[in-house]
C-alpha cells in the first residue's frame, strides 16, 4: 500500500489552492461591492467542509473523491478539486443529488448581495456542509450566525466541519420554512436551497428593514422586509440553480411540445415557467413572454403578505400578477 503523504504537504497545497480560488473570484467581480468578503474566503479552509464529494462519471453515476484516500495522487486531486470554483455534490442517494457545496463565486456574489453590516444577526436556511455558515461567522462572529437544516445527518456533519475549522455558530435541526424563532429577530436571511415560495415565517422573524435573499425558480430574489407580515423585492439578473428545500414538493414540468423551440430552449422563458408554475398556463406564459419583449429576470419581483406570496412583472400593482404555490 502506498504511504500516505504528510499532512503538512496537503496543508501547503491547500494554502496555494485557496489563494488561487480567491484570485479567480477576484477576477469574476463577485465581491466588488463588498471586498471584505475576500478576507473570509482567503481564511476559511473549504477542504475541511468537503472531506468527500462526488463528481459526475462519464459512464453514468458519480465518482467519489475523499481526503482519506490511500493513494497520494488521488488525495491531491481531492484537495485541488475542493478549491475549484465549481459546485460539489456532497450527498448522493440512489443516483439523486441530496446536498451540495455551492460554487464559491456564486456564494461570494450572494453574500455580497446580502449586504450584511457589523452586528447583523443572520439566519441561513440550508446548512449544507457548513462552509457558508463559516464564512458568515468569520465576518460577523459565531454568536450572530444561525444555520438550520431538516436533515439531522447534515446538521451533525456541518457542526463537525465547523468545529474542525474553528467556528461555532448555532446549528439547528428543523424545518427551514419555519425559520428558527428561538434565535430571532434577524437582520438578514439567506437561503441556499431552491424555493417555490417565500415562507411567511421569515419576515415575521425579521426586524423591519431586514433583507432576505433566496433562490426561487431559477433566479435569486432579494426582498426588503417592511414589517412582520410584508416583504417585497425584485430578482437579481443572475441565474441560480440549487437543490430544492428539503420537504418541499416540486411540480412535474409542463409539456412544452407545442411551443416554439426558441422558447423551449430559452433560459429566461424557463425561469418564467418556474416562477408561474401553478399560477399561469405555459401557453399564456409564452404569450406574455413574447408580448413583453422576453423580459429578463430583474423585471420580475415577489410580494409576501403573511402566508401569501405573489409574483409580478414590472410592478406589484399589475397588470401581470399571479400567486405563488
- Residues with active-site annotation: 99
CB-based contacts of 120, cutoff 8 Å, min separation 6: 140, 144, 187, 188
Integer CA distances (angstroms), 121 to 36, 92, 138, 218, 226, in order = 17, 32, 13, 27, 17
Query: How would you classify residue 46: left for phi > 0, otherwise alpha for psi between -120 and 50, otherwise beta?
Result: alpha
CB-based contacts of 50, cutoff 8 Å, min separation 6: 82, 88, 90, 101, 129, 131
The alpha carbon torsion through 151, 156, 158, 164 (nearest 10 deg) reads -170
- Residue 9 and residue 239: Cα distance in Å, rounded? 38
Name 191's bridge partners. Answer: 125
Strand blocks (E) in the chain: 52-56, 62-66, 88-93, 96-101, 122-125, 145-149, 170-173, 186-191, 206-216, 219-227, 230-235, 300-305, 308-313, 321-323
* Helix (H), strand (E) at residue 136: helix 131-140
User: Which cell is 117 given?
Assistant: 453590516
Closest listed residue to residue 231, CA positions, set 314, 302, 131: 302
Amino acid at each position: 500500500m502506498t504511504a500516505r503523504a504528510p499532512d503538512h504537504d496537503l496543508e501547503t497545497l491547500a494554502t496555494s489552492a485557496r489563494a488561487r480560488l480567491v484570485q479567480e473570484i477576484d477576477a469574476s467581480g463577485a465581491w466588488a461591492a463588498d471586498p471584505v468578503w475576500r478576507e473570509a474566503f482567503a481564511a476559511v479552509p473549504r477542504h475541511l467542509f468537503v472531506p468527500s464529494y462526488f463528481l459526475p462519471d462519464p459512464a453514468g453515476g458519480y465518482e467519489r473523491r475523499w481526503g482519506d484516500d490511500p493513494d497520494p495522487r488521488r488525495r491531491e486531486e481531492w484537495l485541488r478539486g475542493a478549491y475549484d470554483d465549481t459546485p460539489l455534490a456532497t450527498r448522493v442517494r440512489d443516483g439523486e443529488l441530496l446536498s451540495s457545496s455551492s460554487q464559491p463565486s456564486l456564494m461570494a456574489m450572494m453574500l455580497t448581495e446580502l449586504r450584511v453590516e457589523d452586528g447583523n444577526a443572520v439566519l441561513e436556511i440550508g446548512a449544507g456542509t457548513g462552509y457558508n455558515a463559516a464564512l458568515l461567522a468569520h465576518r460577523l462572529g459565531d454568536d450572530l450566525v444561525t444555520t438550520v437544516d431538516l436533515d439531522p445527518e447534515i446538521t451533525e456533519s456541518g457542526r463537525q466541519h465547523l468545529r474542525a475549522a474553528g467556528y461555532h455558530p448555532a446549528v439547528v435541526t428543523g424545518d427551514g420554512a419555519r425559520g428558527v424563532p428561538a434565535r430571532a429577530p434577524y437582520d438578514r436571511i439567506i437561503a441556499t436551497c431552491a424555493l417555490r415560495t417565500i415562507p411567511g415565517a421569515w419576515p415575521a422573524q425579521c426586524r423591519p428593514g431586514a433583507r432576505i435573499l433566496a433562490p426561487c425558480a431559477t433566479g435569486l430574489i432579494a426582498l426588503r422586509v417592511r414589517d412582520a407580515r410584508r416583504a417585497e423585492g425584485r430578482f437579481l439578473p443572475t441565474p441560480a440553480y440549487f437543490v430544492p428545500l428539503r420537504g418541499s414538493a416540486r411540480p412535474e414540468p409542463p409539456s412544452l411540445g407545442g411551443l416554439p423551440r426558441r422558447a423551449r430552449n430559452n433560459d429566461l422563458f424557463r425561469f418564467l415557467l418556474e416562477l408561474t408554475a401553478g399560477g399561469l398556463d405555459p401557453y399564456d406564459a409564452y404569450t406574455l413572454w413574447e408580448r413583453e419583449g422576453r423580459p429578463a429576470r430583474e423585471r420580475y419581483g415577489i410580494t409576501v403578505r403573511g402566508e401569501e406570496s405573489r409574483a409580478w412583472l414590472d410592478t406589484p400593482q399589475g397588470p401581470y400578477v399571479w400567486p405563488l404555490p
